[in-house]
Amino acid sequence: MNFLAAAGSRRLCAMRAVFPYLWRGKYFSSGNEPAENNSVTPMLRHLIYKIKSTGPITVAEYMKEVLTNPAKGYYMNRDMLGEDGDFITSPEISQMFGELLGIWFISEWIAAGKNAAFQLVELGPGKGTLLGDILRVFSQLGSLLKNCDISLHLVEVSQKLSEIQALTLTEEKVPLERNVESPVYMKGVTKSGIPVSWYRDLQDVPKEYSFYLAHEFFDVLPVHKFQKTPHGWREVLVDIDPQVSDKLRFVLAPCATPAEAFIQNDETRDHVEVCPEAGIVIQELSERISLTGGAALIADYGHDGTKTDTFRGFCGHRLHDVLTAPGTADLTADVDFSYLRRMSQGKVASLGPIEQQAFLRNMGIDVRLKILLDKTDEPSLRQQLLQGYNMLMNPMKMGERFNFLALVPHQRLHGRTHQTNARQSKPSPSPVAGFGELAWR
């Protein structure tokens, strides 16, 4: 079957924003951007109170408070994605992105033996746009999936975004069940009849055969920052500026701090960012995949253990000083893919990281673009498709900065030994889509 022709061929989606909005993968040092907004936010008052009572806090604690504090956190009560927000992501730029990811999951489901059921689990689903595009592909390929029992599981801490996701996915045709006390805080059914549940924590998602997706999720998890000094590694902390009482500043811890244990013994950089929470999520994903099968697809901007200071803020599509007006801007740090691979601890096989332009090209974005262009004579839609393609693929834009990493069970790459016997030769596994020859390393 020609997946790319079938994937939503009858649907060309409504216009999505493209220019001149800023994507977060753009790299700037956190020290150079001007402070734009000096207002004393409720979050700043909260942090000053906290620091006055218990002393300077780590950058990880700062990031966690600013982004996900249940009352005042940046992510909790606003829609920051798209034209009127602070930044833009690939699924918000082009429908092709989600469609190709939908094909990736189906391809892995087929390669792993077409399990009778699977859970699709997304970490940090934003507005639900990516899942919406994936589900459209699932519907278009309904004849393939018709006997498969699919359910959706969304891991989301933001009340506001979970409401937007519910609207995108269900159109509220069937009323949602809500229970703020429960680990499954919301439940519903999608437009195409698939059950969907919301959780705050991956740990609460049933441990069943699953495909996991994390797009621009790991970059918002809190990082610890360390500076090499003549006395050894010293953690960067956030303190109150002694000159200006309602201003924060970075200081170095006077002695070693516990998070130093996360720095590799052979580390050669003089400044590092480590993200223990990312390690916990990867360990959980690896454990689940090794026990039940399935796969995880992780896409983000990042590096392979080479970059130093990548902590930065975004507000209104502009870079924003990370310590100014906390709670009004997004905070993010590049993902260290070498650390993610290390944290899988050999429980699963990893593929990548591979640059977004290579992954999407391997998935057939050029063919998909042609099919969609052939479907429309509408100049604005054609222009949107071409601009979206350029934004996703251009090495100067998102093509090189964003990377894909997959986690799959070891037997996925080495054949299913339990299906063979002495007289049969071991079946050769099909390559993992999108990763090209890397699948065979």
Residues found near ligand SAH in the complex (CB under 6 A): 67-68, 75, 81, 89, 91-92, 124-126, 130, 155-158, 161, 215-217, 220
Q: Which of 438, 437, 415, 41 is nearest to 247 (CA)?
A: 41
C-alpha 151/C-alpha 120 separation (Å) is 6
Nearer to ligand SAH, 331 or 407 (CB): 331
Task: Please answer whether residues 15 and 384 qualify as being in contact, where contact means their C-beta atoms are separated by less than 8 angstroms.
Answer: yes
Nearer to ligand SAH, 27 or 49 (CB): 27
Nearer to ligand SAH, 125 or 352 (CB): 125
The angle, 0 to 180 degrees and rounded to 10, between the axes of the packed helices 379-393 and 365-375 is 170
Closest distance to ligand SAH from the beta carbon of 128 (Å): 9
Residue 422 main-chain phi, psi, to 5 deg: -55, -35
Residues in the chain: 441
Residue 199 main-chain phi, psi, to 5 deg: -135, 160
Could you give the 3-state DSSP secondary structure of residue 194?
Answer: coil
Closest distance to ligand SAH from the beta carbon of 233 (Å): 26
Nearer to ligand SAH, 141 or 161 (CB): 161
Nearer to ligand SAH, 217 or 311 (CB): 217
Nearer to ligand SAH, 216 or 235 (CB): 216
Task: Please answer whether residues 317 and 87 qualify as being in contact, where contact means their C-beta atoms are separated by less than 8 angstroms.
Answer: yes
Closest distance to ligand SAH from the beta carbon of 9 (Å): 24
β pairing state of 117-123 and 210-215:
parallel
Task: Please answer whether residues 166 and 172 qualify as being in contact, where contact means their C-beta atoms are separated by less than 8 angstroms.
Answer: yes
The CB density around residue 66, as the number of other CB atoms within 10 Å, is 28
C-alpha 411/C-alpha 371 separation (Å) is 35
* Identity of the amino acid at 99: E
Q: Which of 309, 424, 436, 423 is nearest to 363 (CA)?
A: 436
Residue 28 main-chain phi, psi, to 5 deg: -140, 150
Task: Please answer whether residues 240 and 253 qualify as being in contact, where contact means their C-beta atoms are separated by less than 8 angstroms.
Answer: no
Closest distance to ligand SAH from the beta carbon of 58 (Å): 16
Nearer to ligand SAH, 107 or 159 (CB): 159
As given in the structure block, the two tokens for residue 402 are 């964003």
Q: Which of 202, 227, 225, 226 is nearest to 213 (CA)?
A: 202
Could you give the 3-state DSSP secondary structure of residue 207?
Answer: coil
The tally of CA atoms less than 13 A away on the side-chain side of residue 193 is 5
Closest distance to ligand SAH from the beta carbon of 181 (Å): 18
Nearer to ligand SAH, 124 or 409 (CB): 124
Residue at shortest CB range from ligand SAH: 124
Nearer to ligand SAH, 164 or 372 (CB): 164
Residue 301 main-chain phi, psi, to 5 deg: -90, 145
Closest distance to ligand SAH from the beta carbon of 355 (Å): 17
Nearer to ligand SAH, 23 or 339 (CB): 23
Burial-class residue 340 by CB neighbours within 10 Å (0-12, 13-18, 19+). buried
Nearer to ligand SAH, 286 or 409 (CB): 286
